[in-house]
């Protein structure tokens, strides 16, 4: 066992730094830390207002295996929507300050920047609405399904299949948003960052060496956000696939 004080101190400092970075990242993205149901509920209470009755209901829900899975799924949905909100706000800020696609490509579209910034803000607002929707769904709790059969098991219950289909709809909508809205938006952002990187004020108009510094910082900022957008394109595709898989799993419970 290695007991070198220098190595132990370095390892402790590294873990402390990573913990601080993780905490800062969670605060910026409004990410809710997930763990046991009790830990998740406590972390949720730091982000969202929960009264004593809601805490009690969620605590009782988390005592069962299905309830704990439900809480974890809804909090994961909230985290994903909150991260989309952060990502599109970051892209809106980057498009405003560091991208001028019309000027770079000599396009006669003076309001293109306004359109790109507005589209990102609109998607951020949509993601914000998603966080509130998932929070309301968490407080509402899992919907109980009616019995599969009725009349002493002699006839199928049509209400059961309707309830199962209703449970599958949120997964289908989530897959549609990830695949049709969020993923193409990240692609467009990445392309515009690659093609139209330029500070809001042209570096040529600034005094040397200020123009040189601004030009390099613009390239660095847009490159980092470009890599981030490419990563989000991949993640959005994975999230859409997982949502479709969950939708299929729900449909397997149909009484046909």
Q: Specify whether the CB–CB gap between 235 and 187 falls below 8 A.
A: no
Whether the bond between 209 and the residue before it is cis, its omega within 30 degrees of 0, is: yes
Whether the predicted pLDDT of 156 surpasses 80: no
What angle do the packed helices 112-140 and 52-61 form, to 10 degrees? 80
Span 42-66, average pLDDT: 87
pTM for the full predicted model? 0.82
pLDDT in tens, 20-44: 666 666 677 778 888 888 888 898 8
The larger pLDDT score, comparing residue 254 to residue 225, is at 225
CA–CA gap between residue 128 and residue 132 (Å, rounded): 7
Residue 7 burial (CB count, 10 A): 10
Helix, strand, coil distribution of the chain in percent, nearest 5 = 75, 0, 20
Which pLDDT band holds residue 1 (cuts at 50, 70, 90)?
Answer: very low
Measure Cα distances from 71 to 35, 83, 139 in Å.
11, 18, 9
Indicate the average pLDDT of the chain: 81
Q: What percent of the chain has pLDDT over 90?
A: 31
CA–CA gap between residue 189 and residue 230 (Å, rounded): 9
Q: Is 106 helix (H, G, I), strand (E, B) or coil?
A: coil
CA–CA gap between residue 219 and residue 104 (Å, rounded): 14
pLDDT in tens, 74-92: 999 999 999 999 999 999 9
CA–CA gap between residue 132 and residue 135 (Å, rounded): 5
Residue ranges covered by each domain of the chain: 83-133+144-251
* Tokens 């920047």 -> residue: 113
Q: What pLDDT shows up at residue 6?
A: 55
Which pLDDT band holds residue 162 (cuts at 50, 70, 90)?
Answer: confident
pLDDT in tens, 93-113: 998 888 877 777 667 777 888
Q: What pLDDT shows up at residue 48?
A: 86
């Amino acid at each position: 066992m290695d007991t070198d004080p220098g190595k132990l101190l370095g390892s402790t400092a590294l873990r402390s730094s990573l913990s601080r970075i993780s905490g800062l990242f969670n605060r910026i993205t409004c990410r809710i830390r997930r763990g046991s149901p009790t830990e998740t509920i406590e972390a949720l209470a730091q982000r969202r207002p929960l009264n004593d009755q809601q805490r009690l209901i969620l605590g009782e829900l988390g005592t069962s295996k299905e309830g704990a899975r439900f809480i974890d799924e809804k909090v994961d949905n909230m985290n994903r929507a909150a991260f989309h909100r952060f990502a599109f706000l970051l892209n809106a800020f980057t498009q405003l300050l560091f991208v001028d696609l019309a000027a770079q490509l000599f396009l006669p579209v003076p309001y293109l920047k306004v359109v790109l910034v507005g589209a990102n803000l609109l998607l951020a607002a949509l993601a914000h609405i998603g966080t509130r929707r998932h929070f309301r769904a968490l407080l509402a709790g899992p919907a109980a399904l009616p019995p599969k059969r009725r009349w002493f098991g002699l006839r199928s219950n049509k209400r059961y299949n309707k309830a199962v289909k209703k449970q599958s709809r949120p997964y289908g909508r989530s897959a549609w948003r990830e695949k049709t809205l969020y993923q193409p938006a990240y692609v467009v952002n990445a392309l515009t960052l690659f093609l139209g990187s330029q500070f809001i004020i042209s570096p040529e108009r600034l005094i040397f060496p200020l123009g040189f510094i601004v030009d390099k910082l613009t390239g660095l900022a847009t490159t980092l956000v470009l890599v981030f957008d490419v990563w989000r394109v991949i993640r959005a595709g994975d999230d859409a696939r997982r949502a479709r898989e969950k939708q299929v799993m729900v449909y397997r419970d149909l009484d046909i």
